[in-house]
Amino acid sequence: MRHVQGRARRALAALAAAVMWAGLTAGCSADGSGPLGIGGSLGKPPAPEDVIRVTPDDGSKAVRPDSRLRVRVPGGRLEKVTVVRSQDAQDTPVPGRISGDGLTWQPEEAKLALAAKYTVDVVALDSRGRRSARHTTFTTYVPDQRFIGYVTPENRSVVGTGMIVSLAFSREITDRAAVERAVHVSARPPVEIRPHWFGKDRLDFRPEHYWKPGTEVTVDLDLRDVEGARGAYGLQDKTFSFTVGRSQVSLVDAAKHTMDVRRDGQLLATVPITAGAPKHPTYNGKMVVMDMLEVTRMNSRTVGFGGEYDIPDVPHAMKLTDSGTFLHGNYWAPDAPGQVNVSHGCVGLMDVKGGSSDTPAGWFFDRSLVGDVVEVVHSKDKTVSPDNGLGGWNMTWNVWKAGSAVK
């Protein structure tokens, strides 16, 4: 009988030990918790996504530019965060910093780039000192509409002191303030430069007075991903520069039929001219040489007249307005310069067919730069509009500054 009881006690003891071990094993959770902490010391560490949280989520697509890029850990600390932006076949590191407590990382850039892939690599320690690594990617929104700004003058050009920086946009801009903030024009030596909008697709910059000779001007376009109109984003991240050459300002007196050419304030020559006839007078006001052509064709139909003229070989032509005002050589009315105004609004100088450097027109052309100023006075017409060519010098400084979209 005692033998049977002994075997029963041993069986009960074995059963109790088995139940206890099963209970201990069942008590171990996936995250390493449990009565004896077996998972914490011998079990698998938590998954990287539980230790390292990255937003936007891994694999996200069409992420909007105002979405927040952030890396964080709920405990422990971040050791290293590397973010790379892939865009236009180029990989660019994204600068950022880890917070003082080691729990978060944020980029220095306020917004995400459009049409880009971001790659995030993180190494962190959890609250128990275990190291984890995580690799995530996401792509940003690709806009259907883009816009660019066409810059005047040309990059690396040497221009006259009257040059105005002009940006003609490829589409109408409705958020003009956002675009204006993304364009920076600076000068060396420094001078105050202010912007002025003409309508919704043109932004000009100039100082209060003509540039000083030798000034170096830089135009920074930080338009990439700037939303200029609903759903339309800028494409450019470029820098342009130009140098201001010597000062040359020419004064055309339509009543006297003369043009005084002044270089650095000194009278260089007085040249006979013919201006616009009474039915087609020349604009008054300050105009800037926009383009210089050794020879060009002039057809009256292209500037709003009828079939009054079509001259295929106009020599020494310098464009002054978008509406078709030129200063050019004139060989078909040789007796007009200095005597009478016969043109359709242009300023004509004596020349020969085919052009020659020995004529007044050739002499003036050889000594001119894009950006030189030609001012017309005593003509029986209105002052040229500030947005007709580079006519912004005809506005007072206060009126010019009032044309900014940033208040």
Residues belonging to the active site: 328, 346
Q: What does the H/E/C string look like for the chain? A: CHHHHHHHHHHHHHHHHHHHHHHHHHCCCCCCCCCCCHHHHCCCCCCHHHHCEEECCCCCCCECCCCCCEEECCCCEEEEEEEEEEECCEEEECCEEECCCCCEEEECCCCCCCCCEEEEEEEEECCCCCEEEEEEEEEECCCCEEECEEEECCCCEEECCCCCEEEEECCCCCCHHHHHHCEEEEEECCCCEEEEECCCCEEEEEECCCCCCCCEEEEEEECCCCEEECCEEECCEEEEEEEECCCEEEEEECCCCEEEEEECCEEEEEEEEECECCCCCCCEEEEECCEEEEEEEEEHHHHCCCCCCEEEEEEEEEECCCCCCEEEEECCCCCCCCCCCCECCCEEEECCCCCCCCCHHHHHHHCCCCCCEEEEECCCCCECCCCCCCCHHHCCHHHHHCCCCCC
Q: How many CB atoms lie within 10 A of CB 215?
A: 20
CB 122 within 8 A of CB 133: yes
* Nearest 10 degrees: Cα torsion 187, 189, 194, 200: -20
Residue given tokens 């675009």 in the structure block: 179
Strand partners, 135: 121
Strand partners, 194: 206
Please give the single-letter amino acid code of residue 290.
Answer: M
Q: How many CB atoms lie within 10 A of CB 130?
A: 14
Strand partners, 54: 71
Max intra-chain CA distance, the chain: 150
